[in-house]
Structure 1
Amino acid sequence: MQTAPTATSPETHFHLIRAADLAPVPWKNGGGITRQIAICPEGATLDTFSWRISAAVVEQAGPFSIFNGIDRFIVVTHGASMTLVNAVDQSRRSLQQGQTFAFAGEAALAAELPDGPIQDFNLMVRRGQGLGELTVRQSAQRLVLYEGSTVLHCVSGVFTISQASINGREYQLAAGDSLQATLPAGCQTLVEIVPEQAGSSLIDARIRHTAVVIDGD
């Protein structure tokens, strides 16, 4: 029999991130603009983060920034597709909207835009400090959040996220908004996600910490 999730402890932290509060910053290689959604630890730089989540607008073909020692996870959120080309062996990987892809930050990849500009969602995790995963969700579901960090990012439409263990508190996410949950070791909790409009889409980004203190502890 499956064990029910434990109740949220006082140490569990939820943080609502509004799209309007995200400032644009240049890519590491200067080739584009991104908006940082969340970073751990708070105040870390591109050289010191344990994990980082951002959303970028890709308007023209060009190389990806190199991030040594980083595992990367990406999904196209707006626009039809993006093709990633490996500069070493010229292998190609076409990513359609909503399709996730994982790759090493050291990889010499360049983006081609066969159908015009796109937007993407990026999770970067420093190797040895955590494990990452991206899942795209479009239907009403109950999700178990485990120890570590979870960022629920509304790509389109509107989602309501609720959790019984916090006295019925609800969060409503419009397109571009995110909800970050940080759970300490040994804690898990249950949330329900409900799309409020047809065509609503949400990214479920998970980071399981392996060798880093959870942000906020």
Structure 2
Amino acid sequence: MVSFERAATDWRISCAHIQTDSGFSSYHGVDRSLLITSGEGVMLTVNHQTPFAFTPCSAPYSFTGEDRVHAQLLNGAVEDFNVMTRRNRWLHTLERQCIQGSCHVFNHADVLLIYHARGGELVCDDGVAQHTVLKGELLVSSALELQLQTSSGSDSDIYIVRLQRQII
């Protein structure tokens, strides 16, 4: 399980278990993004609109902390990956990427986070040092470019979060 915060009022990255049908907490002034990391998924209802299936194959879903969100489990518990940023201080993007062997990740934001969701060891080279990231771990970087290499040529799934400070 990962949980990482810069400050309670700035940004937060976390994984959560959803074990029962329930509503999401409300966070005024916060933008959120979500991915399902394990389990079959949920039916999400946002602001009483038509429910939709949100599964591990779904693209990241972004919404505001003020939205009324309810999750109904499709078939048992799920785990999700959450990104939350204070709207007037940070912008964020979330993407999922499958790595087969190696790849480059370019950073155009203030903070780059790589969450290793699936696979064997992942070696991240920022041009200064190499970092080994295991499944379930999060790498925080300000490097402009990372070279990622999977162990033994295996596939790995990563979640890439880019955080950009708002100019006030």
TM-score, length-normalised on structure 1?
0.69
* Superposition map of 1:148-167 within 5 A: 148-158=110-120, 159-164=122-127, 166=128
How much has 1:198 moved relative to structure 2? 3.4
User: What SS is found at the alignment partner of 1:138?
Assistant: strand
The equivalent position to 1:146 in structure 2, one of 102, 108, 111, is 108
How much has 1:189 moved relative to structure 2? 1.6
User: What SS is found at the alignment partner of 2:146?
Assistant: strand
How much has 1:93 moved relative to structure 2? 2.4
The structure with the largest strand share of the pair is 2
Contact 1:138 1:195 in 2 (8 A): no
Matched residue type, 1:191: L
After superposition, what is the alpha-carbon deviation per residue over 1:44-77, rounded to whole angstroms, capped at 9, x for unaligned?
33xxx21111111111110100001111000001
Distance in 2, matches of 1:56 and 1:172, equals 24
Distance in 2, matches of 1:55 and 1:211, equals 28
How much has 1:143 moved relative to structure 2? 1.2
Distance in 2, matches of 1:195 and 1:68, equals 39
Residue equivalent to 1:206: 162
After superposition, what is the alpha-carbon deviation per residue over 1:13-54, rounded to whole angstroms, capped at 9, x for unaligned?
xxxxxx6xxxxxxxxxxxxxxx52x212xxx33xxx211111
After superposition, what is the alpha-carbon deviation per residue over 1:156-209, rounded to whole angstroms, capped at 9, x for unaligned?
113211122x0xx2111111111011x3xxxx6211112226342111011111
The equivalent position to 2:134 in structure 1, one of 174, 178, 199, is 174
Distance in 1, matches of 2:57 and 2:15, equals 14
Distance in 2, matches of 1:189 and 1:131, equals 18
Number of equivalenced pairs: 163
Contact 1:132 1:205 in 2 (8 A): yes
| Residue 153 of structure 2 is aligned to residue 194 of structure 1 | no
Bigger Rg, structure 1 or 2: 1
Distance in 1, matches of 2:163 and 2:109, equals 9
Matched residue type, 2:126: Q
| Residue 1 of structure 2 is aligned to residue 39 of structure 1 | no
After superposition, what is the alpha-carbon deviation per residue over 1:134-173, rounded to whole angstroms, capped at 9, x for unaligned?
1111112111123411110011113211122x0xx21111
After superposition, what is the alpha-carbon deviation per residue over 1:96-124, rounded to whole angstroms, capped at 9, x for unaligned?
20421000111111111112111110000
Distance in 2, matches of 1:97 and 1:74, equals 10
Contact 1:55 1:122 in 2 (8 A): yes
User: What SS is found at the alignment partner of 1:176?
Assistant: coil
